[in-house]
Amino acid sequence: MKTRKPLLDRDVRMNGLELVFNEVPITVKGEIVGAIATFRDKTEVKHLAEQLSGVKMYANALRAQSHEFMNKLHVILGLVQLKNYDDLGTYIKDIAIYQQTETNEIINHVKNSVLAGFLLGKQSYIREQGAALEVICSTQVPNTEDPAVTHDLITVIGNLLNNALDAVSHTDTKNISISFRYVHEQLHIEITDTGVGLTKEEQDIMFDQGFSTKGEDRGFGLYFVDQSIKKLNGHMIVTSEKGEGTTFSLRIPYKQKRRIHMINVLIVEDDPMVGELNKRYLTQIDGFELKGIATSFQQALEVLKTEVIHLVLLDIYMPGQNGLALLTEIRQQKNHAVDVIVISAANEVDVVQQTMRNGAVDYLIKPFEFERFQSALAEYKRKHALYQSMNSISQNDLDAKLFFIKKQRRKKSSCQKD
């Protein structure tokens, strides 16, 4: 206590344990009369700090998304109140195109939904701070079999992106990029910024606890990054030059979640916004993989020739040859052993009958809610799995598992007894 100042977050070792030590003097009328000392397990403190760091990053990402959403709603409400419907339509289309362009890279390639959601939120947050985050995926990023890996990965990525944002905050070009590549059960990640960069001396001590270029009470982010990467058995290379920017190159062991049999889907829809909506619906349901969106009869046939397709989501009204013509063509081609669910605004009884006679397994009339779409695909997946699991089937199994006749008979007989 000779310095009369608190001692904070000092590492000490006692009886083989690594502890975090704090000591604060007790002062009465200007005189030090004692001190309060605390000791806490360093592992426990580190775990808590990592959790708080992750929660804070999630909260900031969600807040930024909410802020953007409320701003858009404000503009839409204003245009409605002004009855400026032409500008309203243009604004909504512009939003849809912008969102599609910005989010497609993440939604289409990052199959770890927690990581994808975090990246989308982080994009919004960084944009709100006046910088830009580009996400580049040269391969798909699969889901992982271990949820703890996702948590540690977000701790690493979140802290490095925060560091990059700080680095570009006082520069003219505020650009940040993050790239992903999945190779041989390893996730390769590169985070690059156009910020102020680091000197060789700073690079040598940047992962030490307490190191910061931002003043006191900072310097834990890169320390947690280093600890988390060690926990993941990964490694990192830092390339930086003062005034030029910094690149963090990571290699993280990343075991893919055991892949279930996927049902390959082709969407046939001439309206790009409806096609995008159906695509987003599809990505919310496990077990289905989109192989393409065709906007015409001819495009659909080309995809069917080059891809293994199990299910077609088919619109009826299309320019040129319509969906009925495509359904007929599919049934005439022996090598196109695919199922069809019709998704159309066509509600004429003769059209519905014709599609069913041509072998459509379900029919959804626009507009419909997501629950109806989900129900149709869940039922299709159930039947598809049943067909895949059996070489032959008995009448009882057919009735019970495919048509539910057995269940209906039991219900009827129980009603007769009553």
Return the minimum-mean-pLDDT range out of 180-194, 305-319, 334-348: 334-348
Average pLDDT estimate for 304-323: 89
Residue 314, Cβ neighbours under 10 Å: how many? 26
Q: Could you tell me the pLDDT band of residue 312, with boundaries at 50, 70 and 90?
A: very high
Q: Could you tell me the pLDDT band of residue 61, with boundaries at 50, 70 and 90?
A: low
Q: Where does CATH 3.30.565.10 sit in the chain?
A: 45-253
Spell out the alpha helix ranges (H) of 134-232. Answer: 147-168, 200-205, 221-231
> What percent helix, strand, coil does the chain show, rounded to 5?
50, 25, 25
Task: Classify each residue of 253-264 as buried b or exposed e, where b means 16 or more C-beta atoms within 10 Å of its C-beta.
Answer: ebebeeeeeebb
Q: Could you tell me the pLDDT band of residue 334, with boundaries at 50, 70 and 90?
A: low
Q: Of 156 and 92, which is predicted with more confidence?
A: 156
pLDDT at 49: 54
How far the first Cα of the chain sits from its last, in Å, is: 88
Question: Residue 193 above 70 pLDDT?
Answer: yes
pLDDT at 210: 58
CATH architecture of 263-386: 3-Layer(aba) Sandwich (3.40)
pLDDT at 279: 92
Q: Where does CATH 3.40.50.2300 sit in the chain?
A: 263-386
Round the average pLDDT of the chain to a whole number and report it: 82
Q: Could you tell me the pLDDT band of residue 406, with boundaries at 50, 70 and 90?
A: very low
Question: Residue 29 above 60 pLDDT?
Answer: yes
Specify the pTM: 0.50
Return the minimum-mean-pLDDT range out of 70-74, 100-104, 186-190, 267-271: 100-104
Percent of the chain at pLDDT above 70? 82
- Distance, in Å, from the CA atom of 411 to the CA atom of 256, rounded to the nearest integer, reads 45
Question: Residue 354 above 80 pLDDT?
Answer: yes
Quote the radius of gyration of the chain (alpha carbons, Å).
29
Looking at the domain covering 45-253, what would its CATH class be? alpha beta
- Distance, in Å, from the CA atom of 65 to the CA atom of 69, rounded to the nearest integer, reads 6
Q: Could you tell me the pLDDT band of residue 19, with boundaries at 50, 70 and 90?
A: confident
Give tens-digit pLDDT for 105-132: 787 788 888 888 889 888 888 988 899 9
Question: Residue 399 above 60 pLDDT?
Answer: yes
Residue 208, Cβ neighbours under 10 Å: how many? 12
